[in-house]
Structure 1
Amino acid sequence: MNKQFVVLGLGSFGASVAVTLQKLGCDVVAVDQDMELVTDIAEKVTYAMQADIENPKLLESLGSRNFDGMVVASSENLEGSILATLAAKEMGIPYILCKAHNERHAQVLRKIGADAVVFPEEEMGRKIAKNLVSANLADWIELSPDYSIVETAIPKRWIGKTLKELDVRRTYEVNVVGIREEEEGRVEITPNPEMPLKEGMILMLIGANEALEKI
């Protein structure tokens, strides 16, 4: 049986989450008070409806007890997001993710039972800034405030050397979790430590942000 989610609020963040969940094979109910936003997403999700997320009967009418998770993506409507989170918690929805307007809003959401609180604009801003500063990085994914996964071109000083020779874990305090060869379109999840590194390869590294930035 497909996982089922309800997404409340269909701004850019909420709509993106709803459509992506649907593409991943989930059943998605998308809700917003703005009929234009509902119409725009109607053919991209399982079911879309116009409703006020402050309505205490909304989740009950959707049969939300059967949902695997709920995303409250309407951060501008502080009261609505808080009431929806409370209602979802009382109904026993297993996982509740909320978008917060500010840190105070986030604190309230956590206290009333939100399993995760996100600031998508801030998180994307940090990611873009890191990519701008580290121009050689293909991608930077934060795992926590201190640890990340990055994709980066092979540093010039590493070309022709092997992972065993470089002893990356001990010397640089990061782990190589994969190598991508763009020309061949191949990804090695368990790279051969005896294989010489070539120009054009993309390394996938995991470690503390401080160690990654040094590389």
Structure 2
Amino acid sequence: MKSILVIGMGRLGRNLASALLDLGNEVMIVDEREEIIESLAPKFPDCHIGDTTNENVLKSLDVKSFDVVFVTIGTNFESSLVTTILLKKFGAKKIIAKASQDIQANILSTIGADEIIFPERDMAQSLAVKYSASNVFDYLELSDEYGIFEIPVLSYWVGSSIISIDVRKKYKLNIIAVKTGDKMTVSPAADYSFRENDHIIVVGKPKDVLKITDRIR
């Protein structure tokens, strides 16, 4: 469990704070809009109304006591910038800031943000990969090049083992799990024989995954 401060209760901030709280973390939320904080107060006992570009407001939050601080202020980049500068000034341990453009990311990194997130760009990439093929059931980006994918097995794989098909060599994909209905087999043995309706969880490049899914009709 970590202590986490989330600044900015736009769509990203609200969803992030809610997910963090549900995972058992101690979460404080801050936004300058009174009506937003009042609507979220029933779920978040530790919530504050305040303009985080004001030094006195941030100082009162004791930001250095949090394990992580997220800056998820909506469209006002200047506010994100000033907030990040002040967080660094007051000793925040780890600052993760939202950006929508590379130039914003560069500036935020220069002034002290430890990590930058691109929620819109990341979502766009995820959707593009997922819907480029009708047979990608789930997708998680690991890096600019690699992701984790859930895809169905090819029909002619059924009855054959992982080692006989040699997915890694032929398709440049690493199988990390096999999903059969609600059952998940993690790190399946090389002699595992594929069954009809099996899905495989693989790590690889999108272009290599699409070479397989394009064969599924």
Q: TM-score, normalised by structure 1?
A: 0.93
Shift of 1:20: 0.6
Note if contact 1:27-1:46 (Cα within 8 Å) is conserved in structure 2: no
Alignment of 1:12-161 (within 5 A): 12-161=11-160
Query: Aligned to 1:43, what secondary structure does the other structure show?
Result: coil
* 1:113-162 superposed Cα distances (whole Å, 9 cap, x missing partner): 21221221221122112211111011111111111110111122322211
Give 2:185's match in structure 1, choosing from 184, 188, 200.
188
1:203 equivalent to 2:200? Answer yes
Counterpart CA distance in 1 for 2:177 and 2:6 is 34
Could you tell me which amino acid in structure 2 is paired with residue 60 of structure 1?
A: K
Note if contact 2:53-2:86 (Cα within 8 Å) is conserved in structure 1: no
Instruction: Give me the identity figure in percent.
Output: 30
Counterpart CA distance in 1 for 2:47 and 2:208 is 45
Query: Aligned to 2:70, what secondary structure does the other structure show?
Result: strand
Query: What is the match of residue 215 of structure 2?
Result: none
* 1:9-53 superposed Cα distances (whole Å, 9 cap, x missing partner): 101100011011101111111111111211222122241111112
Could you tell me which amino acid in structure 2 is paired with residue 26 of structure 1?
A: N
Could you tell me which amino acid in structure 2 is paired with residue 120 of structure 1?
A: P
Could you tell me which amino acid in structure 2 is paired with residue 78 of structure 1?
A: F
Note if contact 1:174-1:211 (Cα within 8 Å) is conserved in structure 2: yes
Query: Which ranges of structure 2 fall in alignment gaps of 5 or more residues?
Result: 213-217
Shift of 1:88: 1.7
Counterpart CA distance in 1 for 2:21 and 2:45 is 7
Query: Aligned to 1:144, what secondary structure does the other structure show?
Result: coil
Query: Which ranges of structure 1 fall in alignment gaps of 5 or more residues?
Result: none
Note if contact 1:56-1:83 (Cα within 8 Å) is conserved in structure 2: no
Shift of 1:109: 0.4
Going from structure 1 to structure 2, the CA distance change for 1:158 and 1:92 (only over 3 Å counts) comes to farther
Could you tell me which amino acid in structure 2 is paired with residue 124 of structure 1?
A: M
Counterpart CA distance in 2 for 1:189 and 1:92 is 42
